[in-house]
């Protein structure tokens, strides 16, 4: 049996030498990329000890939900609710793994404007390997990447805005050391497994119609209505949109070709809106039971069926 397999392999190699060479080169490149990615992850005794403390529990808890430590991660923060959500990808959508209480964040709802205003940011950020800090004076931390392209287009200033341990903060999100052990291990594991950027979406509050109405007179309402578009997309699809910046606004690309490593979210639900002209009057005489289905259909009011318009797909992101 082994001899037959060897002979077939030799024949295949002789018939398709270019294909075999291409496959070998691809495997070598992938292996090298994996090694390079893991070797570039900053590490310390503190981060390694934290991982050893929390990994066994994280793995068991995730397995119960059909998740794995190292799967792609998405983070949402709600300032008013003082909540940080960790979502983990399961197939083409994300599943809520755990909600963590934020021990402290400085400032009020509303975006960060300038260095020293002690305000935590709002908007759409990403965390990569070079933003992890396993030697933080706040236990463990990762940098949110403020200011992003949107912030820079509005001349917003600030630096070193983090999600970190302990329970004190000046513009950051302090989670306590134990909670940060888990969050850091989850993000670090996803990056080691190949996720280049972990999206972090930060909102002033859960952007429900009721809460938006309660803040309709805020000076930040236009900004909040813009970021609510990204909030609504994730609420409807459980898959984060691609976020770009155009004309000093966030724009949301809601589809990425699978060929380029994107994820295909579920289709946007069709919205049916029924309208009736004021001059239309329903026939007052009852419809006989023997009336044909076609005739019954003709007696019904006409409706206009529309679907949500497609978003603007232009723009360049960070």
Query: Does any domain span residue 5?
Result: no
Q: Is the peptide bond before 245 cis (omega within 30 degrees of 0)?
A: no
Please give the pLDDT value at position 286. 44
For residues 250 and 12, the model is more confident at 250
For residues 226 and 316, the model is more confident at 226
Mode of pairing for the β-strands spanning 173-174 and 242-246: unpaired
Q: What is the DSSP letter of 316?
A: B
Query: Does any domain span residue 69?
Result: yes
Please give the pLDDT value at position 282. 38
User: Could you give the C-alpha distances from 176 to 100, 101, 209, in angstroms and in order?
Assistant: 10, 9, 32
How many independent structural domains does the chain possess? Answer: 1
Concatenating the DSSP letter of every residue in 251-309 gives EEE----GGGT---PPPPPP-EE----TT-----SPPPTT--HHHHHHTSPP-EE--PP
CATH number of the CATH domain containing 83: 2.40.440.10
For residues 23 and 195, the model is more confident at 195
> Could you confirm whether 105 is annotated as catalytic?
no
Please give the pLDDT value at position 254. 72
d(CA 143, CA 151): 15
What's the average model confidence in pLDDT over 112-122? 93
Please give the pLDDT value at position 11. 58
Mode of pairing for the β-strands spanning 104-105 and 93-101: unpaired
Which residue range(s) make up the domain with 172? 45-260
Work out the pLDDT band at 313, boundaries 50, 70, 90. very low
Work out the pLDDT band at 24, boundaries 50, 70, 90. low
Query: Does any domain span residue 303?
Result: no
d(CA 153, CA 147): 9
Q: Give 140-186 pLDDT, tens digit per residue.
A: 999 999 999 999 999 999 999 999 999 988 889 999 999 999 999 99
Concatenating the DSSP letter of every residue in 174-232 gives E--HHHHHHHHHHHHHHHHTT-S-EEEEEESS---HHHHHHTTTSTTHHHHHHHHHHHH
- List beta partners, residue 77: 84, 202
- φ/ψ bin of 45: left (φ > 0), alpha (ψ from -120 to 50), beta (otherwise): alpha
Query: Does any domain span residue 18?
Result: no
Q: Is the pLDDT at 242 greater than 80, yes or no?
A: yes
Contacts 24+ apart (CB under 8 A), 27-34: 34/194
Q: Is the pLDDT at 302 greater than 60, yes or no?
A: no
- φ/ψ bin of 28: left (φ > 0), alpha (ψ from -120 to 50), beta (otherwise): alpha
Helix orientation angle between 2-15 and 17-39, rounded to the nearest 10 degrees: 100
Q: Give 258-267 pLDDT, tens digit per residue.
A: 444 444 444 4
> Could you confirm whether 172 is annotated as catalytic?
yes
Q: What is this structure's pTM?
A: 0.70
- Nearest Cα neighbor of 229 from 246, 241, 213 is 241
Mode of pairing for the β-strands spanning 242-246 and 198-203: unpaired
Query: Does any domain span residue 162?
Result: yes
Q: Of 103, 105, 139, 164, which residue is the catalytic one?
A: 164
Please give the pLDDT value at position 231. 97
Query: Does any domain span residue 277?
Result: no
Please give the pLDDT value at position 39. 59
Query: Does any domain span residue 305?
Result: no
Query: Does any domain span residue 288?
Result: no
Q: Give 28-69 pLDDT, tens digit per residue.
A: 444 444 444 555 889 999 999 999 999 999 999 999 999 999
d(CA 165, CA 142): 10
């Amino acid at each position: 049996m082994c001899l037959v397999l060897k002979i077939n392999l030799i024949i295949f190699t002789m018939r398709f030498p270019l294909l075999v060479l291409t496959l070998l080169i691809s495997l070598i490149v992938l292996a090298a990329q994996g090694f390079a990615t893991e070797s570039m992850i900053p590490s310390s005794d503190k981060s390694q000890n934290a991982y050893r403390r929390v990994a066994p529990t994280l793995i068991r808890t995730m397995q119960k939900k059909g998740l794995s430590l190292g799967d792609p991660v998405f983070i949402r923060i709600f300032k008013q609710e003082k909540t940080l959500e960790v979502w983990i990808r399961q197939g083409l959508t994300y599943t809520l793994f755990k909600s963590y209480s934020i021990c402290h964040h400085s400032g009020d709802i509303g975006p960060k404007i300038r260095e020293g205003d002690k305000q935590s940011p709002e908007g759409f950020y990403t965390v990569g390997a070079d933003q992890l800090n396993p030697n933080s004076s706040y236990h463990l931390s990762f940098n949110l990447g403020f200011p992003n392209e949107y912030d820079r287009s509005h001349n917003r200033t600030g630096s070193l805005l983090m999600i970190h341990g302990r329970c004190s903060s000046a513009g950051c999100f302090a989670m306590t050391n134990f909670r940060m052990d888990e969050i850091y291990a989850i993000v670090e594991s996803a990056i080691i497994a190949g996720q280049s950027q972990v999206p972090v979406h930060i909102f002033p509050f859960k952007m429900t119609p009721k809460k938006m109405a309660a803040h309709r007179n805020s000076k930040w309402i236009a900004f909040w209505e813009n970021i609510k578009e990204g909030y609504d997309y994730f609420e409807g699809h459980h898959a984060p949109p691609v976020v770009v910046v155009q004309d000093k606004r966030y724009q949301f690309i809601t589809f990425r070709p699978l060929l380029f490593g994107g994820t295909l979210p579920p289709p946007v639900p069709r919205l049916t809106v029924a309208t009736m002209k004021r001059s239309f009057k329903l026939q007052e005489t009852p419809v006989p039971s023997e009336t044909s289905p076609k005739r019954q259909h003709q007696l019904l009011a006409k409706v206009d069926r529309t679907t949500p318009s497609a978003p603007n797909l232009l723009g360049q992101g960070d």
